[in-house]
Amino acid sequence: MKLSRLAAGLALGLGIAGAALAQTAMKISISTAQNSHQGVAIDTFAKEVATRTNGRYKIETFYNGALGGERESIEAVQLGTQELAFSSTGPVPNFVPEAKILDVPFLFTDKAHARAVLDGPIGQEMLTKFDAKGFKALAWAENGFRHMTNSKRDVKTPEDLKGLKMRTMENPVHIAAYKSFGIITTPMAFPEVFTALQQGTVDGQENPLPVIISAKFDQVQKHLTLTGHVYSPCIFLMNKAAFDKLSAADKQAFLDAAKVAVKANRDRVDADDAKGVADLRAKGMTVIETVDKTRFVAALTPVNADFEKQFGKANLDKIRNYKP
């Protein structure tokens, strides 16, 4: 009798364990708020993965740098201590140097051009460069075109940037370009930026409108200029070993979920861009909407010569002139 009870107990225990094992939990993180274009991306991805795998995979979502800044999250994915991350390309060149080219200022004419490049052969080939570094890059998504904000003065020309102490991403291409403008660059992880602006450690920062809005930078910044100086992609990254363990059907489910999430992410960027200026003006920011971009491009002539040496003029022109 005791033995049969023990056997029943073991069977029940194993049954419960089996049910628990049937669902695999994976973490994904962003540095921005849940109510943002990046939040929309990972929430949509989590929902799609659950649906497409019949709930066998549960994607746990973390916001506001809860698991660290972008660089830490990418490192964790590379090490396998975190399965997934959704990040801007800011820190990506520290892991995959080939991605640096995408951060060259004034490389893309508009969002349609940037999206066509990333979704086309150039962008898709770039995704394969992540494999050798311990990642599976699932898809390119979007942060948006970056604009300048500061607490000191209106910026109408490149000369107005001289001497401003600005937070930059931990990105070598950005830092080289902004130094050309005479900016005092201060590389810093995103979760530290609001406090640094609030305390006056830095005068300004640069980010797309969706980030400026969701991070509430209007509370600590007075002046916004729509420079659109760099197009900022985002990327879904997964630990390569974790991806390789998936069945062929589940691999496809993750890739398809990322595609749907990219569409939701880009739609939110478009919506934020459409209402962003009015929204930030209503919150008290001074917004310079029209700038002479040719002057900003001209100010970067010396550093652009370096970029042409580094990346090859032909490679830059291939992106600049890409037509789908």
pLDDT digits 0-9 by tens, 148-180: 999 999 999 999 999 999 999 888 999 999 999
Residue 276 lies in domain: 23-318
What mean pLDDT is predicted for residues 34-52? 97
Cβ atoms of 214 and 18 closer than 8 Å: no
Predicted confidence at residue 4, as pLDDT, reads 54
Predicted confidence at residue 321, as pLDDT, reads 97
Enter the tokens of residue 67.
């698991």
Dmax (CA) for the chain in angstroms is 89
Q: Does residue 206 lie in a domain region?
A: yes
Q: Does residue 13 lie in a domain region?
A: no
Predicted confidence at residue 17, as pLDDT, reads 45
Predicted confidence at residue 323, as pLDDT, reads 93
Q: Does residue 7 lie in a domain region?
A: no
**Confidence grade of residue 286 (pLDDT, cut at 50, 70, 90):** very high
Q: Does residue 189 lie in a domain region?
A: yes
Q: Does residue 17 lie in a domain region?
A: no
Predicted confidence at residue 9, as pLDDT, reads 53
Predicted confidence at residue 170, as pLDDT, reads 86
Angle, CA 209 vertex, CA 207 and CA 211 arms, to 5°? 60
What mean pLDDT is predicted for residues 18-34? 83
Count of domains forming the chain? 1
Q: Does residue 84 lie in a domain region?
A: yes
| Extended beta strands in 188-294, E state | 204-208, 223-239, 286-288
Q: Does residue 239 lie in a domain region?
A: yes
Cβ atoms of 155 and 148 closer than 8 Å: yes
**Confidence grade of residue 5 (pLDDT, cut at 50, 70, 90):** low
**Confidence grade of residue 94 (pLDDT, cut at 50, 70, 90):** very high
Q: Does residue 14 lie in a domain region?
A: no
pLDDT digits 0-9 by tens, 185-205: 999 989 999 999 999 999 999
Record the pTM: 0.89
Alpha-carbon distance of 289 to 272, in angstroms, equals: 15
